[in-house]
Structure 1
Amino acid sequence: MSATAEKTTTPARLEAHDAPYHIGAVTLRVRDLAKLVAYYRDAIGLRLIREDKDSAELGIGGQVLTRLLAGAKEQTSAAGLFHIAILLPSRRDLANWLGHAAEARIPLEGASDHLVSEALYLSDPEGNGIEIYRDRKRAEWPRKPDGAIAMATERLDLDKLLGEAESGAYAGMPEGTGMGHIHLRVGDTAAAEAFYQGLLGFDLMVHYPGASFLASGGYHHHIAGNIWGSRAARPRQPGEAGLDRFEVVARDEADFAAMRQRILAAGGTESDAAPTIADPWGNRVVLVR
């Protein structure tokens, strides 16, 4: 089914975007542009915003969430993307997407209740991981005795979730959908923390076996890095298939200026007012307003 319509009501602000910085568009380098455009439009439910022979942009409500670039080279590093994470406004929206996946026979690779969120996992035709999820309200997030956010990986009852889906043809992801977080494959979690926390200023939120979760503004995580299949991975080379770059969106001018200063002080570059820096594995971060 194609994404042919969007709801017109204005949803509440996403929990992930209630922060000084959140994740914006993620750019992927792909081998078969037409095939991936069709997948993100018809299977995932994004709207095609722009397309030419070399690239395409898809998103919701005119907001780009995924950019696809043609001409990917063979991936030689284990580092890069673990998954992009598309955040839906509500549990009903997640149920509707699950109903669409069941009807369209879109294979899932996992489904989890993380206490702070509920998530469905799959991969696109070129192996790029995708999480589709909804957040619980911040007031509902469980806390440890020291006040830290408690997260886990528990079974998500898909039958119960599916029972909340609305009837009728799937109209695509709704207005208010956004990029919630990005999860990376890194070579070393301590080095990832040194870069994303020490250099860029994100807060370390949760340690998980083999993974670190970092965020801005008290969110559970905007950026995660794991070594589950990439321990000691070497840096990615330019043009490798998979992750090319991802945006960090600053809430206002002051936040933009503060992050810009950190990026440039750490050796980043600036072009067209977009400060850019690569982490130790070549994953590029672009700061935007």
Structure 2
Amino acid sequence: MELAVQTQGLGKRYGRAWALQDCALEVPAGRIAALVGPNGAGKTTLLHLAVGLLRPDAGEVRVFGRDPRAGTSVLADIGFVAQDTPVYRDFTAAELITMGGKLNRRRWDAALARERLAALGIPPDKPAGKLSGGQRAQVALALALAKRPRLLLLDEPIASLDPLARREFMQALMGAVAESETTVLLSSHLLADLERSCDYLVVLQQSRVQLTGPVDELLETHRTLVGPRAGSEAVAGVAKVVRASHTERQSTLLVQRGDGPIDPLWTEHEVTLEDLVLAHLAEADARVTAEAWGVPA
């Protein structure tokens, strides 16, 4: 299995605070991977390390087996759209495409960028600063795709867009990926958009990876159980209780399944990606708080 992104013990520190610590993950090539977590979890730092904009303070990161800071060869395989989809606001879309060709001589596809923007109705001669936020995001995506990258890194490119612009952006992204078989690592808070488009999940919390794997496998191995008020006793067929809530008479558990059938006293329900992510983030928060106070989680 070829790995698009691989990290081992990866860490980045700003002063005394670790923005990313002991990060170990693998993103297989060919996946559309969602990178999720709260603000401050280390998502942007991870992407900047993967694209070579930052130097690790611990561990290592590899993109297709190569260090992104060891030379420029791997950078030609990476497309990157940073937060706020930055483009030179005084340049027109046509001028940005021309500039991109001068900076990326290896396999720049200017025709692809022009065709994508024409299909979206984005004027080629209008300064980027006068385009809407959604249009600027589409320009940034077209420029990244014109590199014909093997890996596309997207750092919350749709967070500030309205629902229609978000849908158009995601549709354009999915269409481009289907045509090119590009691996995508997409950071976003918008779980509903990710659930429709991503097939791999990386959850970051408290500067560490909390959960990773194929989305369909993670959803299959997790369930919501509703049943009698539970104490500390184990539930048959459950490997781990991720999150629990209780009323006077019943308990609701989000669990990771184990071997064997679930205890028939419990009603089983499938989980959504949002259920799964929020439960693991809450578990990580509770564990860190408990460790800080020196009490069992």
TM bin, normalised by shorter chain, reads: under 0.3
Give the TM-score, by structure 2 length: 0.27
Greater RCO (Cα-Cα under 8 Å, separation 6 or more): 1
Q: Which is richer in helix? A: 2
The structure number with the bigger radius of gyration is 2
Give the TM-score, by structure 1 length: 0.27
Q: Which is richer in strand? A: 1
